[in-house]
Structure 1
Amino acid sequence: MASVLFIGGTGQISLPCVERAVAAGHAVSVFNRGRREAALPAGVTGIVGDMADAEAYRKLGDRRFDVVCQFMVFTPEQMAQDIATFSGKTGQYVFISSASVYEKPARHYVITERTPTVNPYWPYSQAKIACESMLKAATNLDWTIVRPSHTVRTGLPTMVGEGDVIPRRMLAGKPVIVAGDGTTPWTLTRSEDFAVPFVNLFGKSAALGEDFHITSDRAYTWDAIYGAIARGVGTSARIVHVPTDTLVRYKPDWIGPLIGDKSWAALFDNAKVKRVAGDFTCSEDLDEVLAEPIRLLKLRLSQPSADTSELDGLIDRIASEQSALGR
């Protein structure tokens, strides 16, 4: 049994990992600001604090946890703080990066950990790459890098972060937009499936100084994903396909999530993590993969929606102008 600290611990990916770590018998503590909707498992020690409080955060390292799981570092400045806080004070520092760091487009259609980490399109990915580089250069800190791909629990898998706008449009009979022709394969992984190999990396000497992605072995087309969302809320999807280059001309900040991520095929070889964490399986039934996001979506749909008129209006405009081509 190890003493494990989760920084974050209640998010889309981290909460199932906390639950799995508790079930595996680890002594688990969670550090966050104490603002949470989901309850932590019994026996978890909550530590209320803020990473922005540098002096208080520095004391966290003095508790000397066996494993530190960092879900909340997104910038080089935050990584520098963690290196200073935990160097020489933990047996394993696990940094949650992102599979979006891999080159776009990948030179081979199956992504492995040998795929270069180069993403010139998305500042989010560039910051994660910079954090990885800093960690790899650190001394006196045994690290493991984990790169989730599109992992689902609370949020819906949409192309540019439209979230609940998409099912609300579907229910209203309005068109929704998919970049490209809708046939690009995209890997989705349930958070609860991700958690199993993630926790199995704890305390493994073979995991130190190594990077791993953890994903399902199955991909789905974007048309199939949007069709499953529609099916989950009892309607159908009116999909309008729009070239990616066209979409980013309408809204330039879509370059990151589209050209920097979702417009490319995402197929992963998980052999490396399976060698270290043991074999694992993920749900491959799309309706099952989306069951929990759809359940939580239905709870949100019963509540008044936030103002989405600007995005709705843009989607209406794009769908109308694309559909008018060739008439």
Structure 2
Amino acid sequence: MALNVLFIGGTGQISYPCVELAVRQGHAVSVYNRGKRADALPAGVTSIVGDLAAPDYADLAKANYDVVCQFIAFTPDQIARDIEVFSGHCGQYIFISSASVYEKPARHYVITEKTPAINPYWAYSQAKIACEDLLMTADALAWTIVRPSHTVRTGLPIMMGDSDIMARRMLDGEPTIVAGDGSTPWTLTRSVDFAVPFVGLFGKAAALKDIFHITNDRAHTWNDIQKAIAALLGVEARIVHVPTDTLIRYNPDWIGPLVGDKAWTAIFDNSKVKGVAGDFTCAESLEDILAEPIVHLKQRLAANRPPKGDFDALVDRICQAQSALG
């Protein structure tokens, strides 16, 4: 059944393939954003230029969309406004949260939607938890919460810092950092694979007032991820393993992305979303998962290779100190 769907965002890392798939499946798709991304929207998509904070944002409710997909709300005040705007004016409101909300470390090595949402380490995750909590009190809004994990399309997966700089360091034969011993399993999901179950949740009564994560079933160690990136760039990875606690002492801002996320094992049970959206598969090999990000990386480096700067100096300092231990 064709639905009238609004994407708030729609041109981002995760949302763009979802827009493409929704169009291919015959849905009438509109995209609301600031219109600043270079990617051209698929043919037939209605572009609405605006900002979440604009007074006319409330006018979106007049269309009474069947599905509203909120990809760019990150704070409770933004969700509070959406509850006010869309309650009674859409068939389904889907909020994109994050799998980083799950407690660290998880009580079980396989994460399900029953894993508590507790993350005392990362302000980003705490804000997403607060958004979810607010939605769960919205009786007049038919909400669905979706939690992606590490989803890749244009950017390369690294543990902290700037991925383009890390890739440039690899190409220049310089060392890169992996937190811990690099053996922690981590789940990577292509955005194009995420899109299939995400769009599959549209209009499903069983998806209302419920929470789903959408991830790959397969995990890879951070050592293998780094080595695969290097191999696809035609070089050999020079990995320096540094304890997470040590890295945070060098840069306290890394406590969020490391202790609040990537330093822990992340393996997910996707049976819940498969039971509602239908079965789906994801690319499993790192070569397939990283193929599209590598293409985007090479295009960016050809246009603007990042110069050496403060981040390089910090990485060099850490690598030299760690390597001096023998």
1:146-295 correspondence runs (5 A): 146-295=146-295
Deviation at 1:304, TM superposition (A): 2.9
What is the correspondence of 1:313-324 to structure 2 with a 5 Å cutoff? 313-324=313-324
The residue that corresponds to 1:50 in the other structure is 51
1:42 corresponds to which letter in structure 2?
Answer: A
Provide the residue aligned with 1:6 in structure 2. 7
Letter paired with 2:286? L
Q: What TM-score do you get using the length of structure 2 for normalisation?
A: 0.99
Which residue of 2 is the match for residue 17 of structure 1?
Answer: 18
- Size of the aligned set, in residue pairs, is 325
- Whether the 8 Å CA contact 2:164–2:306 is kept in 1: the answer is no
Structure 2 residues not aligned, in runs of 5+: none
* Deviation per residue, 1:8-67 (Å, 9 max, x gap): 0000100000001011110000000111211111110000111111x2001111111000
> Per-residue displacement from partner, 1:68-119 (whole Å, max 9, x unpaired)?
0000100011111111110110000000000000000000000000000000
Structure 1 residue 139 displacement after superposition: 2.0
SS, match of residue 136 in structure 2:
helix
Question: Aligned partners of 2:22, 2:248: CA distance in 1, in Å?
Answer: 41
Alignment pair present for 1:28 and 2:29: yes
Q: Which residue of 1 aligns with 2:40?
A: 39
1:135–1:182 CA distance, 2 compared to 1 (3 A): same
8 Å CA contact retained: 2:9, 2:15: yes
1:112 aligns with: 112
Deviation of 1:233 after TM superposition, in Å, equals: 1.1
2:311 is aligned to 311
1:303 deviates by: 2.3
Do residues 73 (structure 1) and 73 (structure 2) align? Answer: yes
Counterpart residue type for residue 177 of structure 1: I
State the partner residue of 1:137: 137
Q: Residue 308 of structure 1: CA displacement?
A: 4.7
Find the aligned partners of 1:25 and 1:308 in 2 and give their Cα distance: 47
Name the CA distance, whole Å, in 2 between partners of 1:307 and 1:81: 41
TM (norm. structure 1) is 0.98
Q: Which amino acid aligns with 2:5?
A: V
- SS in structure 1 at match of 2:163: coil
Kindly state the Cα deviation for residue 307 of structure 1 after the two structures are TM-superposed: 4.5
Q: Distance in 1 between matches of 2:170 and 2:306?
A: 17
Q: Distance in 1 between matches of 2:304 and 2:137?
A: 48
The separation in 2 between residues aligned to 1:145 and 1:221, in whole angstroms, is 28
Q: Which amino acid aligns with 2:16?
A: L
Distance 1:129 1:308, change over 3 A: farther
1:86 is aligned to 86
In 2: Cα distance, 1:238 partner to 1:303 partner: 25
- Counterpart CA distance in 2 for 1:2 and 1:238 is 50
- Letter of the 2:78 partner, please give it: Q
